[in-house]
A and B are shown apart, each in its own frame.
Chain A
Amino acid sequence: MIECKRVSKKFGAFKALENVSFRIPSETCYGFLGQNGAGKTTVLRMLVGLLRPDQGEIFVAGQSLLTERQKVQKLCGYLPQRPEFYPWLSGEEFLRLSAELVGVPARQAKKAADKYLDTVGLLEFARRRVGKYSGGMQQRLGLASALIGDPPVLLLDEPVSALDPQGRDEVFSLLKKLKQEKTIFLSSHILHDIEQVCDGLVIIHKGQIKAQGTMPELLKQSGESIIRAQVHFKVDSRLMNQLQAGFSGALQGVGVPVSNVAWQEQGLEQFFYKVVKQAEEEQRQNSREGQGGADDVNMAR
């Protein structure tokens, strides 16, 4: 359904993407994981026709993006990383405009706008001007705008980054339903988010694809590779000991507390689940203690 073939892109002398190739099957949800600046947004913007690759080909639903951009844009719902919309329109007016732009007849646009406002939990704010929406509300509105017109492909650039935990859960529940009938490609640098909803994963690092496939395929592939994880919370000595005890390989930390740990581990699955579980546990404990907590786990292989 989505296929990138040897796509490269330079911004001046900076190589943003180098021979990026991946394939995402129809009616699945794939995560696009990578650190900030790895090239996730560049790829997503290319998939929706906002950037032209210097080399390579992109196909969405069998249509070449280079020759059939308008058709591809009709097939894709896109949520930008920092969604910004006309502040002088109400949420409903904005969605009606979005609907009509993707070919929904004017008579049905109001109905479609109400439906998707309800889907993202903004129906009661339908008449409020978008300029008065909070960041989270704008992100929900952006998601509604991506969904309107019922496109078969959804490209979501960090779709829950501005949402609170409840909002995240709601959006992930929605995506779980949607992936039965749509192809979803969502970027994040938060492994836990991707793991919640995705069937597969594409990992990008410094503009190069490092791994791709379904979750079971990736777990098989992992073998004895070095796994480097960056956890965006303080790893205190207690957690460090727990991690060390839980992993068979060597665990290297840079001082305590640390935010970077690296270790060698048999099988990616254990890594995924143990680190995330630890992070969740930490988050729960810290929340109870009113200290904030783990909210971010980032990894690159």
Chain B
Amino acid sequence: MMSIWLAKEAREMVRLGRWIPLVAVYLFLGVLQPITFKLMPLILSSASNLPEGTVIHIPPPTVDQVLYSIIGQYNQLGILALILVGMGLIASERKLVGEWLWSKPVNITHYVLAKYSVFFLVAALSSLVGLGIGAYYTVELIGPVNWSALCQGALLYVLYQGFLISLILLASALVTSPTLAGGLALISIVLVNLLLPMVWQGHFVSGLLELIKATLSQTAWSRSSPLWEPIVTTLMGTALLIGLQIPLLAWRKTSH
């Protein structure tokens, strides 16, 4: 049963071109950051109206700064791309074909897992390829990259992306309007990114971005809080958010 849904989701992703914004945004951000850092002094001097003879001294960026700036951009524009693609994945389907779909003996666990898997796979591949290209340009324009640290940081980001995707899909399962689902997802992610660090600074899910930063700058082992904590709590949070969709959709099945 799972393979039916995986095939259907993959086909939907391709036919509706849902992969395009993900690939485009992540590749663009990956390429943009090293180039921006490299050209920043030039951009500033040509764009500002400073008196002649003024010297702007900008310390050269470090490699880990450039790489983390890519993650930083992923966490803004990348999230918007994720929401754009994910907000209608369940909501639109329920609205369009809900009556036909729920009249069939659908295994909701398979349905939810297939949606998550295909979306996660495309998003993760896009962000990894974007980071890879970003690293290539960083090597060319800034300096040598520690590939081991980059791989660890990239995997941690993919983990965080998985958490965000589960949040977006939960929002999409809650309502039948894709726009409303997008709004809900955005608010939830903003709350996760802003509020959680206030409550649990450096801990649990909110510690993951800090861990990525520390990994890229190869200082992760000197962190005061345990390394496993953000990883395990993010995985648990993801599993919980996916798990919540199953009873929610089972309930919605009879009242859509």
Is A98 at the interface (CB under 8 A from chain B)? yes
B255 touches A86 (CB 8 A): no
Chain B interface residue count, CB cutoff 8 Å, equals: 21
Is A49 at the interface (CB under 8 A from chain B)? yes
Contacts A50-B256, A84-B97, A88-B12: A98 and B104 contacting too (C-beta < 8 A)? yes
Contacts A52-B255, A88-B16, A89-B11: A80 and B103 contacting too (C-beta < 8 A)? yes
Give Cα distance in the complex from A151 to B12, angstroms.
28
CB distance from A41 to the nearest CB of B (A): 10
Give Cα distance in the complex from A100 to B256, angstroms.
23
Q: Which B residues, 1 to 43, have Cβ-Cβ distances below 8 Å to chain A?
A: 1, 3-4, 8, 11-12, 15-16
CB distance from A93 to the nearest CB of B (A): 8
Which of B8, B16, B96, B103 has a CB less than 8 Å from the CB of A50? B103
A100 touches B4 (CB 8 A): yes
> Which residues of chain A have C-beta atoms less than 8 A from B12's C-beta?
86, 88
Is A188 at the interface (CB under 8 A from chain B)? no
> Which residues of chain A have C-beta atoms less than 8 A from B96's C-beta?
84, 86
- Size bin of chain A's contact surface: 20 to 34
B103 touches A73 (CB 8 A): yes
B254 touches A49 (CB 8 A): yes
Q: Which residue of A lies closest to B8 (CB)?
A: A97
> Which residues of chain A have C-beta atoms less than 8 A from B3's C-beta?
106
CB distance from B111 to the nearest CB of A (A): 10
Interface flags for B224-256 (1: CB within 8 Å of A; 0: not) read: 000000000000000000000000000001111
> Which residues of chain A have C-beta atoms less than 8 A from B53's C-beta?
none
Which of B16, B100, B105 has a CB less than 8 Å from the CB of A145? B100
Is B155 at the interface (CB under 8 A from chain A)? no
Contacts A98-B104, A101-B104: A51 and B254 contacting too (C-beta < 8 A)? yes
Q: Which residue of B lies closest to A88 (CB)?
A: B15
Give Cα distance in the complex from A98 to B103, angstroms.
11
Which of A51, A71, A89, A97 has a CB less than 8 Å from the CB of B255? A51
CB distance from A136 to the nearest CB of B (A): 17
A102 touches B104 (CB 8 A): yes
Is A128 at the interface (CB under 8 A from chain B)? no
B97 touches A85 (CB 8 A): yes
CB distance from B85 to the nearest CB of A (A): 15
B97 touches A49 (CB 8 A): no
Is A70 at the interface (CB under 8 A from chain B)? yes
Is B106 at the interface (CB under 8 A from chain A)? yes
Contacts A84-B96, A89-B11: A101 and B106 contacting too (C-beta < 8 A)? yes
A101 touches B97 (CB 8 A): no
Q: Which residue of B lies closest to A78 (CB)?
A: B103
Interface flags for B71-108 (1: CB within 8 Å of A; 0: not) read: 00000000000000000000000001101101111100
Q: Which residue of B lies closest to A157 (CB)?
A: B99
Give Cα distance in the complex from A93 to B256, angstroms.
25
Interface pairs (12), CB distance under 8 Å: A49-B103, A49-B253, A49-B254, A78-B100, A84-B100, A86-B12, A86-B96, A88-B12, A88-B16, A101-B104, A106-B4, A142-B100
